[in-house]
Structure 1
Amino acid sequence: MTGYEPPTALPRTLLDRADVRAAIAAHDFGTVFFLARAEAQISYSKIAAECDMKPERVGTLARGHGSVTSFEKVARIADALRIPGHMLGLAPRGWETPAPVHRALARAAHVSDADGDELRRREFFKASAGVGLVVALPELNRPRMGGRVGSDLPERLRQRTARLRRLDDVLGGGDTYRVYLGEYEATKALLRDSTYTEETGRALLSVLAEQAQQAGWAAFDGGRHTDATGLYEASHRAAADARDNALAGNALAFLAYQAVNGDRQAAIEIAARSCATAGPSAPKGVRALLYERLAWACAVAGLAAETERALAAAESALAEVDDAPQPDWVAWVDRNELQIMTGRCWTELQRPLRAVPVLETALAQYDDTHARDKSLYLSWLASSYLHAGEIEEAAAVTGRAFELSAEVASVRPRERLNPVLDRLGEHRALPAVAAVLDEVRI
């Protein structure tokens, strides 16, 4: 990238202006695009081409609608407009520093180029207060290679993993995968290169299993399905070796969730095995989650009675009076989340009279800050409206889902919404539908 000067590079005189610097610091790229065209005669079409965006999207941002929050897109804009990394909360970009110097700095910091990407992401996360993201991660005193691991380290690693999991609330797997994978690889190296007691070793394996699931989920969310499968399988092995039945069951549930779009019977069998592996003594949140995943596998396969039984088992688990602490990785499983899964299942079974009221009620209580998940859940509501013949309602919900997912680094919302758009296309003659189709297909 060093020898290439894009046609969209902002003039230094513009970068030095106070209003431009303020807009850049605030990640207000709409204002930056507007000023680039007004002051430097850089067209929106050129900006779109260099930033890998659609011209209409650039124009919409320039008119003050929408925002850019994903790491990849911010980095791409920085490179296209030649905005120095420090102005955006990023490390210096490759074109700012000659490649040999960049590599030397990386070696001096004892990180590889890939690790450098991860560090830039972390710096970006810290700078991205506009996304509402706050993650405080204390430094860990990891033992030197071959050193002795204290009995307290697994719990500290688990707490760190729990804090990192909060990234998934606001960012997609495309943004979190490298961070989660780095944590998994660091713990794997710790297990391989350090010494510890048998009990500490089992605890470290349990943490490793949890981290593998977290990285696998990010891989799945970012469209890296082969990576996800490998991480889920590695998680299952680690959890089994740690004798952590709950995590072993959850690893199988992840594999089942991934398999539902392929061999549906196999997905049901894996999901049923996940429930049996965790067993009746697993925490209630774990059992509820695994039965939800079983219900989903049954619904996708068109098995209504089996779906209903699994949902009832999940509800029964959640209803138990039990004050025992639940694993952090099931903290999001509550009654509202179960209602959303119930609505999704009835949507898959094409029972809109059951699905719509449940989804409407549950999603009214679901905060927009969980943009990726809410956009996904709205896609099932839109599908149910279509099944019920409520075309205008389906169009409105689809538009809202696209609005929420616009800058989330996840492949799943678009994958879910594309079939909905195809079905809406049959009703383009309706003004409400035409407006949404014109907006989201730009």
Structure 2
Amino acid sequence: MTGHEPPTALPRELLERPDVRAALATHDFGTVFYVARSEAGISYSMIAAECGIKPERVGTLAKGNGRVTTFEKIVCIADTFRIPGHMVGLAPRPWETPRDGSAGAAPRREFLKASAAASLAVGLPELSRPSTGGQVGSDLPEKLRQRTARLRRLDDVLGGGDTYRTYLGEYQATRSLLRHRAYAEETGRGLLSVLAEQAQQAGWAAFDGGRHAEARGLYEASRKAAVDAGDAELAGNALAFLAYQGLRGDRQARQDAVQTAARSCATVGPDAAPGVRALLYERLAWAHAVAGQADETERALEAAHGALAEADGEPQPDWAAWVDETELQIMSGRCWTELRLPLRAVPVLEAALGRYDDSHARDKALYLSWLADSYLTAGEVEQAAAVTGRALNLSTGVASVRPRERLAPVLQRLGAHQALPAVAEVLEMARS
């Protein structure tokens, strides 16, 4: 840690205590507050002031009643007590010093990402969702949908290792509400639709963080909730997520994933929002590409571009609104890379990634891995090494398993050319 600790910093010996470590792993900050006062002499009023929590709320949490689930509060508490990020499911905090004692704190990009994420979370309403009580108001589903959309922006700058617990907490809170509260039939359908959306969000974070069993369970729960809600678009998207995950398997699993992706498109039908159809068709194209089906890939990409052209400025569901022409171009380049068509892939990926901001570090690192792959296939080894170096730099500190997984085969192929200085340098970077 740094040499300038705040007065609320917990001593290392307390942070390493088994009971405190267990509490931090489950975000049981009540235990942390109690230990901070009883063992470190930090008053509840000081904790309240530093964490931006009402003093009575701190006392309530310390008695074991209630939980802290919002991203902004988790970040604030971690920084207040100087709790290393890995202990609470966050990326390394800006003030952390590398464990090997080398100079410097976390890279500036990590600080900017954490700051951006916190600013996105600021202002989220603390919705009242008690487990018992009167009937839920008809406006709650829309409020929850807006909250879910705002939290989705965290995925732009953070990996699933950082966001999973937050997204899962939102899903669990809505599921509890559905089980224990009373509501009108239409409100219930709206809540089920939100639940399906939240399950997909949590499932994606689990997948990105390497929690593949949890991801599948959440995707399946999402599909059931969407079907029960009569929300064909979200039901189709749940199938698309299941297909995307299935592509990690063997040949039979990939063939099954293609069929699942095709079902996702059929589920939403031709009358779905253009952005939704574009998203599902691009995922179908990806499934065909991974399965080595070039003609089918081309047809699915054409369908995706055609659907996106129909959008014409009309509002789209927030969970599909990120799909634009740049994203489709990147997906096209990815597909052509998988199909070993580098002369088609490279120009498209270079142009699209030139417009892609480095603040989206995880995604850009992933996309650069396909560009590096295509350069290698084309025999441009030094260019592949340069692009791989950019991807490695971007992926440093990102709480996602996918960039390194994607870069591993590229680095292995580069190993055959390690006599080249540019390649030797990037291989050394990967080992450090």
Q: TM-score range by the shorter chain?
A: 0.7 to 0.9
Who is 1:45 aligned against? none
Q: Distance in 1 between matches of 2:305 and 2:321?
A: 15
* CA distance 1:412–1:380, shift in 2 (3 Å): same
Q: Contact between 2:70 and 2:166, CA under 8 Å: does it hold in 1?
A: no
User: Map of 1:32-431 to 2, 5 A cutoff?
Assistant: 96=36, 106=61, 108=63, 110-111=65-66, 119-121=73-75, 123=77, 130-131=112-113, 132-133=116-117, 134-135=119-120, 136-142=123-129, 145-262=132-249, 263-320=253-310, 322-431=312-421
* CA distance 1:434–1:105, shift in 2 (3 Å): farther
Q: Distance in 2 between matches of 1:125 and 1:340?
A: 37
Q: Distance in 1 between matches of 2:256 and 2:195?
A: 26
- Which secondary structure does the structure 1 equivalent of 2:213 belong to? helix
CA drift at 1:140: 1.4
Which amino acid letter does the alignment assign opposite residue 378 of structure 2?
A
Who is 2:84 aligned against? none
Q: Distance in 1 between matches of 2:34 and 2:418?
A: 46
Q: Give the TM-score, by structure 2 length.
A: 0.78
**Cα deviation digits, residues 357-395 of structure 1 (max 9, x gap):** 000000000000000000000000000000000000000
Aligned residues: 366
**Cα deviation digits, residues 331-367 of structure 1 (max 9, x gap):** 1100000000000000000100000000000000000
Q: Distance in 1 between matches of 2:322 and 2:240?
A: 16
Q: Distance in 1 between matches of 2:170 and 2:39?
A: 27
Q: Distance in 2 between matches of 1:189 and 1:122?
A: 26
Q: Give the TM-score, by structure 1 length.
A: 0.76
**Cα deviation digits, residues 1-34 of structure 1 (max 9, x gap):** xxxxxxxx77xxx446xxxx7xxx9xxxxxxxxx
- Which secondary structure does the structure 2 equivalent of 1:216 belong to? helix
- Which secondary structure does the structure 2 equivalent of 1:110 belong to? coil
CA drift at 1:146: 3.6
* CA distance 1:99–1:225, shift in 2 (3 Å): farther
Question: Unmatched 5+ residue regions in structure 2?
Answer: 17-28, 45-57, 81-92, 95-110
Q: Distance in 1 between matches of 2:254 and 2:131?
A: 46
CA drift at 1:117: 9.6
CA drift at 1:122: 6.5
- Which secondary structure does the structure 1 equivalent of 2:271 belong to? coil
Question: Unmatched 5+ residue regions in structure 1?
Answer: 1-8, 26-74, 81-90
CA drift at 1:439: 1.4
CA drift at 1:150: 0.5
* CA distance 1:265–1:98, shift in 2 (3 Å): farther
Identity %: 65
Aligned alpha-carbon RMSD (Å): 3.2
Q: Distance in 1 between matches of 2:72 and 2:179?
A: 22
CA drift at 1:322: 4.0
* CA distance 1:15–1:209, shift in 2 (3 Å): same
**Cα deviation digits, residues 116-164 of structure 1 (max 9, x gap):** 9995247569998732332231221335614210100000000000000
